[in-house]
Amino acid sequence: MHLRPGHAEASIPVLQRLIRENPLGILTTAIKSPTYPFLQSSHIPFLIDLPDNPSDENPGTLRGHIAKQNPQAKALIDALTTIQSEKGDAEALELPDEVLVLFNGPHHHYVTPKFYTETKPATGKVVPTWNYSAVQAYGKVKVYCDSKSDITSGFLQKQIEDLSQHAETGIMGYASPWKVADAPDNYVQLLKKNIIGIEIQIERLQGKFKMSQEMGKGDREGVIEGFEKLGTATGEGIAKTVRERSE
């Protein structure tokens, strides 16, 4: 990600908030395997757990889960099995290579040069672009895949309960949320055997809001007005964010 100074967001709490409000991340791994592609990506909803004192050096931990039938999950399992065999440590969970999770903000849109109402009529030196916001998290991944292990079972149970609670209350806004306990326990236990858990200790958290900050005041106002006139939820969201970032 190109972190142009005018677009880069240095505030860790702002980046953490974007993740909490937009939890569907894209997990990308690079794992050498004779069976599966080297580069793989999957869309996975994540939870972010914060330490007592978050900092640039310790911005939090991501938790998620993947279906075992996902080729990326199979590559992760194979890599962990190899690590455990090489170390002679059946309890080892962490892989040595870094992974990347990308989160996108709620609104993105093409920006037409027609919105630049100051520069376009004055010089014509304008080109189209795309406004968006995103956060990227880097770190080492722990893989919980032993369905017979109490550690894996406990991790997955907490993961699915916490994720459901967050989505039902924080995203859906339900006062009486659906809970995992509402489903039959034997059904939940069966489903748990078909997923693996992943936990990523974030080592670097970076992000940007590319929302016309590089443009002059007149052009920014033109962008806000242009998006508001679209009459769409995305247009309203972009206009609101451009205004906020401009301020």
Q: What is the pLDDT of residues 93-136, one digit of tens each?
A: 999 999 999 999 999 999 999 999 999 999 999 999 999 999 99
Is 26 a member of any domain? Answer: yes
Predicted TM-score (pTM) of this structure: 0.94
pLDDT at residue number 8: 95
Is 204 a member of any domain? Answer: yes
Is 240 a member of any domain? Answer: no
Is 82 a member of any domain? Answer: yes
pLDDT at residue number 58: 86
pLDDT-derived band at 89 (thresholds 50, 70, 90) equals: confident
Is 236 a member of any domain? Answer: no
Share of the chain above pLDDT 70, in %: 100
Number of domains the chain contains = 1
Q: 60: domain range?
A: 12-112+130-215
HSE value, Cβ hemisphere, 13 Å, CA-based, for 91: 2
Tokens of 145: 């895949």
Rounded Cα gap, residues 15 and 206, in angstroms: 7
Strand partners, 93: none
Is 44 a member of any domain? Answer: yes
Q: DSSP 3-state assignment of 113?
A: helix
Is 57 a member of any domain? Answer: yes
Query: Counting Cβ atoms within 10 Å, is residue 144 exposed (0-12), middle (13-18) or buried (19+)?
Result: buried
pLDDT at residue number 186: 95
Share of the chain above pLDDT 90, in %: 92
Is residue 209 within a helix (H) or strand (E), and if so which, with residue range? Answer: strand 195-210
Calculate the average pLDDT of the chain: 95
Is 143 a member of any domain? Answer: yes
Residue 10, pLDDT > 90, answer yes
Q: What is the CATH number of the domain that holds 61?
A: 2.30.110.10
| Residues in Cβ contact with 7 at an 8 Å cutoff, skipping those fewer than 6 apart | 208, 209, 210, 211, 213, 214
